[in-house]
Amino acid sequence: MWRRIRIALLLLILTTVIVDTWRTKYRVTSWNNSLRAVVYPINADGSSNTERYIAQLHADQFDALEDYLEAEAHRYGITVLRPVNLELAPTVRDLPPAPPRSGILQTILWSLQLRWWAWRHDSAGSLYPDIRLFVLYHDPAQTHQLDHSVGTDKGQIAVIKAFASQRQANTNLVVIGHELLHTVGATDKYDMTSLQPIYPDGYAEPAQQPLYPQAQAELMGGRIPLSENEADMPISLSETLIGPKTAQEIGWIHR
């Protein structure tokens, strides 16, 4: 009997999570109002250089991403004045749970753990954010290459790896923008093994002749295709755009 009660409670919790996820996803992709996205900085390596970099962060350093999303949304006919408002929360002192390497069940469990962890570590105040972006900053003197960042539309949460360097601030915004779009339903448009953008949806200008080199990256394609087997990371948002497939996934185009 107790086993049945436990199963019933687990099913009730799971159903509640599924319904809440669906309702939230519908609300954030309707684009009737501005979304409140909060950046939570985290010192990922304990470095004093990283700590100093985080201490000098301020909200208007993310204005370029706000402007970019507004301009791209307006290209697709979204009329809300500021589709995403980015705010800066106080530093979070704990690290989020690491994502699993593989496995559907492990990924589901990690997603639930991450949502619980994010709720417990929300330092943004009393107003509940629509999107939570936990940015793990690393000292480039200690870390030369970062692991993949992760964004999920299950709870609208992203865990983002970034460099604690003003020289790489614009590149950080590209990564933050990419993961932010994951939280509202955008999918990756690059090959997971080669990291090469997938044609045509991962190309900024798939109809361009000749096709290579491209001048920009599709934001969810991740890189600027230079040839069939070469691609460069964009150094700023000005070298990217949001393609029609991504726009459809996040609700900017309805077909």
Measured distance CA(168)–CA(236) in Å, rounded: 9
Question: Closest Cα partner for 184 from 71, 4, 35, 38?
Answer: 35
Measured distance CA(162)–CA(168) in Å, rounded: 8
Q: Summarize pLDDT for 21-66 with one digit per residue, the tens.
A: 655 565 677 898 999 999 999 999 999 999 999 999 999 999 999 9
Structure-derived torsion over alpha carbons of residues 165, 168, 172, 175, reported in degrees to the nearest 10:
-140
What kind and span of H or E run contains 151? strand 150-152
The pLDDT of 71-94, averaged and rounded, is: 95
Structure-derived torsion over alpha carbons of residues 105, 109, 110, 115, reported in degrees to the nearest 10:
140
Residue 92's pLDDT is what?
95
User: 9: number of CA atoms within 13 Å, CB side?
Assistant: 6
pLDDT band at 19 (very low <50, low <70, confident <90, very high): low
Q: CA distances (Å), 63 to each of 27, 40, 68, 163, 201, in order?
A: 23, 16, 8, 18, 27
Q: Quick one: tokens of 124?
A: 């943004």
Prediction pTM value:
0.89
Q: Which domains does the chain have, with CATH numbers?
A: 32-185 (3.40.390), 188-255 (no CATH)
Q: Summarize pLDDT for 214-242 with one digit per residue, the tens.
A: 999 999 999 999 999 999 999 999 999 99
Bond from prior residue into 200 cis (ω within 30 degrees of 0): yes
* 41 Cβ contact partners less than 8 Å away, ≥ 6 residues apart: 54, 57, 88, 89, 91, 92, 135, 137
Q: How wide is the angle at C-alpha 57 spanned by C-alphas 148 and 151, nearest 5°? A: 25
By DSSP bridging, strand 157-163 and strand 150-152 are antiparallel
DSSP label at residue 9? H
User: 247: number of CA atoms within 13 Å, CB side?
Assistant: 20
pLDDT band at 9 (very low <50, low <70, confident <90, very high): confident
Concatenated DSSP letters of 76-144: TT---S-SEEEEEPPPB-SPPPPPPSS-HHHHHHHHHHHHHHHHHT--S-SSPPSEEEEEEEE-TTT-S
Please, are residues 222 and 190 in contact by the beta-carbon 8 Å criterion? yes
